Structure 1
Amino acid sequence: MPQRPAHPSRIGLISDTHNLVRPEALAHLAGCDAIVHAGDICNQTVLDALAQIAPLTVVRGNNDIGEWAASIPTHATLIVQQVKILVVHDLADVPRNLHDDDVRVVVTGHSHKPLIAERDGVLFVNPGSAGPRRFKLPISAGMLTIDGARVEATLHMLTT
């Protein structure tokens, strides 16, 4: 049986920054063990700012174009403790065989709508948009707390 770590892992979730790094987002992510950015970054300086906080897992969004974004993958996976996480920008690009790959959490962006939902034993999390406000949607980010095989997701409104 795998050893449980001394403390739960905190994985900061952010998406759709669209070239805006809000101080409230940086404060929310401070102290995380890792950060996941689910795309629509729009500029390398966003990643540089986040990388000063914690190791990054990043996927390319539909607005991430140009030479700076060419090496960013469209799908990424990471394993934190006993939890496998799949990251894609658009929910429409999530593969159908999640159980075959033992994926427990899917992190997406694109819609700018914060969401936590469980479907067939898989936790789907969209942290919403931490960038410029779109329509009347909230400005938000998220957090995964992982303790062994247990995972919990929360959303955090960055501004009112």
Structure 2
Amino acid sequence: MGDSNVTVAVVADTHVPDRVGMLHPNLIPMLSDLHPNLILHGGDVCSPAVLDTLRQVAPVEAVRGNRDWLLVKELPLVRKMVINGIQVTLQHGHGNLFDYLIDKWHYLRQGYRFERYARIVRKSAGTPRVIVFGHTHHAECIWEENVLWFNPGSASLGPDRKGYPSFGVLRFSDTGQVEGEIHTLGKLKWDGQNWTTFG
């Protein structure tokens, strides 16, 4: 991408229609207000229509999540790119089938642990400056050993279905700096038919 500041919106785990019937009503307006140069989707898109809707805001790069059965031929598991001179890896973060099953076992016993997912993601990430992933529904913006680990959280379901849905923003400066932000989408929860107020 170019030589000026670049704003990248990051979404993941939209889960339309497998867990929610439609995108969160605040998502597209909030993304549009950012005027992003690019949107990254960290997987569990679940419907090609979601990507079409996001493309009305900005160009989209997406990867396949563990629930993207309809998109197996269209989306890769990992995308590597350079944004404003900074190497970025995008992946869902579920790993292979063995990783996924072992993680489920650990998750049921111990709950969420960032370090466990980081080990899985690291296997195919290469050596980027920014690693963008999804899968956990837990938003993360963590610098570790000069690498930004960025998970926007789920745009459909908060962590453990309790917190608020969220998305993220990455800002790549023309001086080689990158900053991440997490934005909540508001106090709405999918009730099985509609988005309704909660909390």
TM-score w.r.t. length of structure 2: 0.71
Aligned equivalent of 1:80, options 65, 74, 83:
83
C-alpha distance in structure 2 between counterparts of 1:64 and 1:96, whole Å: 19
Quote the residue 1:109 is aligned against: 134
Q: 1:48 — aligned with what?
A: 52
Gaps of 5+ in 1: none
CA RMSD of aligned residues (A): 1.8
In the alignment, is residue 152 of structure 1 matched against residue 179 of structure 2? yes
- Once residues 96 and 87 of structure 1 are traced to their aligned partners in structure 2, the CA distance between those partners, rounded to angstroms, is 10
Matched to 1:27, the amino acid is: P
> Hey, what's the Cα distance between the residues in 1 that align with 2:124 and 2:44?
23
**Unpaired segments of 5 or more residues in structure 2?**
17-21, 94-116, 188-199
Paired amino acid for 2:27: A
How high is the sequence identity, in percent, across the aligned residues? 30
- Structure 2 residue identity aligned to 1:29: L
Match of 1:127 among 124, 139, 152: 152
The count of residues paired between Structure 1 and Structure 2 equals 152
Point out the structure with the larger strand share: 1
**Residue matched to 1:33:** 37
1:4 Cα deviation after fit: 4.4
1:9 counterpart = 2:2: no
Per the TM alignment, residue 93 of structure 1 is displaced from its structure 2 partner at its CA by: 3.2
Could you tell me how far apart the structure 1 residues matched to 2:88 and 2:30 are? 20
Q: Distance in 2 between matches of 1:135 and 1:40?
A: 16
Which protein shows a greater Rg?
Answer: 2
**CA offsets per residue over residues 30-84 of structure 1, 9 Å max, x none?**
1110000000001011000001111111000000003x44220000012111111
Aligned partner of residue 69 in structure 2, secondary structure: coil
Letter in 1 for 2:28: L
Amino acid at match of 2:7: R
